[in-house]
Amino acid sequence: MEEQSKQPFKLHMPGLLKVLAEHLYSNKQVAIRELIQNAHDSCMRRSVEEENQFYRPRIDLAIDRAERVLRISDNGSGLSAEDISDYLSTIGRSYTRELREMLSILSQEEAYQLIGQFGFGFLSAFLIAEEVTVITKSHQPGSEALRWHSTGDEYYEVTPATRREVGSTIELKIKPSAAFVLQPQLLQESARRFADFLPIPIYLDGDPVPVNLTTPPWEASDPQRATLDYIERAFNIEDPICILPLHEQVTDLGHDTVELPIKGFLFVPPDSTVSVREYGDVKVFIRKMFICDDERELLPPWARFVRGVIDCPALQPTASREALHQDETYALVRDAIEQQLIALLRRLARDEPDTWKQIVLGHSDIITSWAAKNNDFFEQVADLLPVRTSRGKLTLPDYLQLTGGTIYYTTRELGSLQDKLLAEGHDVPVVEAAWFGVEPFLHRYAQRHLSVGLVPMDGDAKNLMRPVPEESYQTLLDAYRELGVRAKIVAFKPMEVPAMMIYPKNADFIIETRDALERDELPGPLAGLVSDYMQNRMQVSAEELKGTLYLNASCPLIRQFSEMTFDDAKNKAALTLIHQIARLFAGRTLTPADVAGAFRTTTTAIEELLP
């Protein structure tokens, strides 16, 4: 090519719309958001440019289901022929952005009230509409009404129109595939979701009550009440434990300071039905326009018991305005929220200890697991968190008072009463650390308090029993043998318990599976594999499966037994009763046959003991 020449880009409108529809926006409802936002900005423009104290901006939504038409009207600034050419029909150029840049020098507050940014939001109308018509009249003196019309191809038409009032009406001929937007309920939900906080009232089908709140709760005359109402309306949560308001913050960058215009609130939901449920999400608004739900990165990871709403114009939305750019400002906002949250929780712990306790108790499982991962947070909650012990829930300071400074814990669930008694082999309560977050928390606690010892009590509960020479108890052991009971003599605490029945691990499962195999209850191909598993991994004799009675030599009754003979029926009956009681406390699931057998034996024993 000999001559170089500058050529303009060409725009293929249908291709661009396809990109918008299929790749930019995640759903078609965003078209409603974009058009409401344009209407809002138009009203804001009019109030900035036309100093009229009687001006009352409004947006109206009207559905004509028969014609498949949705109308969005505003009494904003309207569009002149120049505006139409320069902004409405120029993709990527936004009057709002230009006005905001201008206003940011004159009035930061007014600048923040404008939402539009990218200059192609209007195109999203074609996500739901096959034809778009705009009837508009500019607020500039001497303006005539105009009609702009497009079917989403390369061309648009502008013709004179009839309209008395200043403002615009966008008429969307809805595509059959998007007819869902014509449902009043859905339209109302969309308007609320996206524009609840916009200051301009939005009316639906002539209803005199606006669908949106028009004021965010933190700007209401009674912020506390309004916030509670909003939490119920938007999160479906009644009676949160507490509300933590957020505020603007000046952040020191070292070389400079930056003002972060954060507004909103965080709250702690009441303890949920699921104690492991994790929240840690916020709804994000930018200039009062909704951006996204469930934003989790803006809160610190440990704050999974917190939810909230944040409005911060400094945050940058992505082009689709359905997510946020994780840029430097985002990081600053995140840090500022973390600082504010820590300060609020500290103040709560100091000034409202009961509320703080309610939070910690209501979300203890989540808080325990996150405290183990974060030093600052750990310091705040470590002494308040209740841990499950064999004597109920206790805080660690209370627990350590009982144990003299050592944490005894087991990572299995303390199911039966016998489990708990055995776990208390050191005569102190034992912490149940079955939930996976508890053990790291205990370790951190012990690291942090050097005087605190940590003793894992896992393994065979029998380890907690001290061996005792059998000679003095031989008669007693022989008597049990005659009754068909495997018995051993040991010593354990508490001394009030005369005996415990201990079964091999998985005894119930082994018995059930062996029975099932014997009765051919498993399909052939499965029976082989299950049988192999039982042989290789569950080798327990039938005798062992009956359990072993551990007699407690520390118990006065057993010591008394050691001096007795068991030839007569009465003494034998006493042995039987001890055995049956120990069986009942062993925490095994009893079958009807077990129960019947136990009652038969016990009844006979009682009959023997009766005079």
Partner 1 sequence: MSDWEWFHEVRQKAYQAKDTQRIRLIDLYYEGQGFSEKEPDRAIAIYEQAHALAEQLGEGWVMLAIDERHLRTLMYEKANYLGALDLAVRATVELRKPVYRRYPRRFMIPIYLVQIYRALDARQYASDLKALLDYLIVEVPEDDKETQYELHSKRILFAMTMEEWDNALELGLRYLALCGEDMAEAVRVYVLLCRVASNRREWKSVEEWAQAGAEGARQVNRMDILCECQAWLAFLARRDNNEADAKRYYEEAIATAKSVGERPIFFYYNILASFHVNGEEWEKASLVRQHQIEHVGGTGQVMDELYYRVEHIKALGKLGQPIAEEHRAARDLLGQVSNPAPYDTELADLEKQYLSPPSPPLPPAAQAVSDGLEQVKKQVVRWIAGLFKG
Measured distance between the N- and C-terminal CA atoms of the chain, rounded to whole angstroms: 124
Copy the structure tokens of residue 168.
Answer: 């615009």
| Among 144, 481, 509, 595, interactor with partner 1 by CB under 8 A | 509
Residue with token string 């009057």: 95
Of the two residues 53 and 589, which places its CB atom closer to partner 1 in the complex? 589
Per rule CB under 8 A, is residue 393 in the interface with partner 1?
A: no
Q: Pick the stretch among 166-174, 341-349, 511-519, 545-553 that binds partner 1 (CB under 8 A).
A: 511-519
β-pair type (548-552, 487-491): parallel
Q: Which of 26, 533, 599, 600 binds partner 1 (CB under 8 A)?
A: 533
Q: What is the spatial order of strands in the sheet that 466-467 belongs to? A: 466-467, 487-491, 548-552, 499-502
Q: CA separation (Å) from 185 to 30, 37, 180, 230, 365?
A: 16, 20, 10, 19, 39
User: Which pair of tokens denotes residue 106?
Assistant: 């004159």
Q: Which residues of 211-239 are buried (b: 16+ CB within 10 A; e: fewer)?
A: bbbbbbbbebeebeebbbebbeebbebee
CB of 22 to partner 1, least distance (A): 13
As a three-state string, the secondary structure of 78-107 is CCCHHHHHHHHCCCCCCHHHHHHHHHHHHC
| Shortest Å distance, C-beta 130 to partner 1 | 28
Question: Rounded CA gap, 369 and 270, in Å?
Answer: 19
Binds partner 1 (CB under 8 A): choice among 232, 532, 568, 594: 532
Query: Of the candidates 23, 537, 542, 592, which one interacts with partner 1 according to CB under 8 A?
Result: 537
One of 67, 328, 521, 594 touching partner 1 (CB under 8 A): 521
Phi, psi for residue 202 in degrees, rounded to 5: -115, 125
For the chain, the residue count is: 611
323 versus 495: smaller Cβ distance to partner 1: 323
- Toward partner 1, which CB reaches closer, 434 or 564? 434
Minimum Å gap between C-beta 529 and partner 1 is 5
Closer Cβ to partner 1, 169 or 513, answer by number: 513
Nearest-approach distance from CB 24 to partner 1, in angstroms: 18
Closest separation between CB of residue 72 and partner 1, Å?
35
Identify whether the C-beta of residue 41 lies closer than 8 Å to the C-beta of residue 140: no
Instruction: Pick the closer one to partner 1 by CB: 11 or 276.
Output: 276
* Sheet with 431-432, side-by-side order of all strands: 392-395, 386-389, 431-432, 406-410, 453-456
Is 523 a residue that touches partner 1 (CB under 8 A)? yes
525 binds partner 1 (CB under 8 A): yes
Helices (H) and strands (E) counted in the chain, each on its own, are 22, 23
Q: How far apart are CA 446 and CA 214, in angstroms?
A: 52
As a whole number of angstroms, the distance between CA 32 and CA 468 comes to 81
Pick the stretch among 69-77, 177-185, 315-323, 515-523 that binds partner 1 (CB under 8 A): 515-523
Does 611 help bind partner 1 (rule: CB under 8 A)? no
Question: Is 392 a binder of partner 1 (CB under 8 A)?
Answer: no
Question: Of residues 211-230, which lie at the interface with partner 1 (CB under 8 A)?
Answer: none
Near partner 1 by CB under 8 A, which window of 274-282, 325-333, 386-394, 571-579? 274-282
Token pair 């078609």: residue: 28
Question: What are the tokens at 236?
Answer: 């479906």
Binding test (CB under 8 A) with partner 1, winner from 253, 274, 542, 593 = 274
For residue 296, the minimal CB distance to partner 1 (Å) is 11
**Measured from the CB of residue 272, what is the shortest distance to partner 1 in angstroms?**
8
Nearer to partner 1, 435 or 566 (CB): 435
Phi-psi region of 605 (alpha: psi -120 to 50; beta: other; left: phi over 0): alpha
Interface with partner 1 includes 529 (CB under 8 A)? yes
Q: Which is nearer to partner 1, 154 or 508 (CB)?
A: 508
- The only residue of 522, 540, 577, 598 in contact with partner 1, by rule CB under 8 A: 522
Q: Which stretch binds partner 1 (CB under 8 A): 323-331, 380-388, 464-472, 530-538?
A: 530-538
Category of 29 on φ-ψ map: left (φ > 0), alpha (ψ -120 to 50) or beta: alpha
* Residue 587 and residue 417 in contact, taking contact as beta carbons nearer than 8 Å: yes
Contact positions with partner 1 (CB under 8 A) in 362-381: 369
- State yes or no: residue 106 binds partner 1 (CB under 8 A): no
Task: Decide if residue 186 touches partner 1 (CB under 8 A).
Answer: no
> Minimal distance in Å, beta carbon 483 to partner 1?
32
Say how far apart CA 364 and CA 371 lie, in whole Å: 10
Q: Which residue, among 200, 209, 244, has the nearest Cα to 223 in the 3D structure?
A: 244
Which residues partner with 389 through β-bridges? 392, 431
276 binds partner 1 (CB under 8 A): yes
Give the x/- contact pattern for partner 1 in 424-443, rule: CB under 8 A: -----------xxx------
Contacting range for partner 1; rule: CB under 8 A; set: 122-130, 167-175, 199-207, 520-528: 520-528
Nearer to partner 1, 279 or 561 (CB): 279
Q: How many residues bind partner 1 (CB under 8 A)?
A: 27
Rule CB under 8 A: which residues touch partner 1? Answer: 272-274, 276-278, 369, 413, 435-437, 509, 512-513, 516, 521-526, 528-530, 532-533, 537
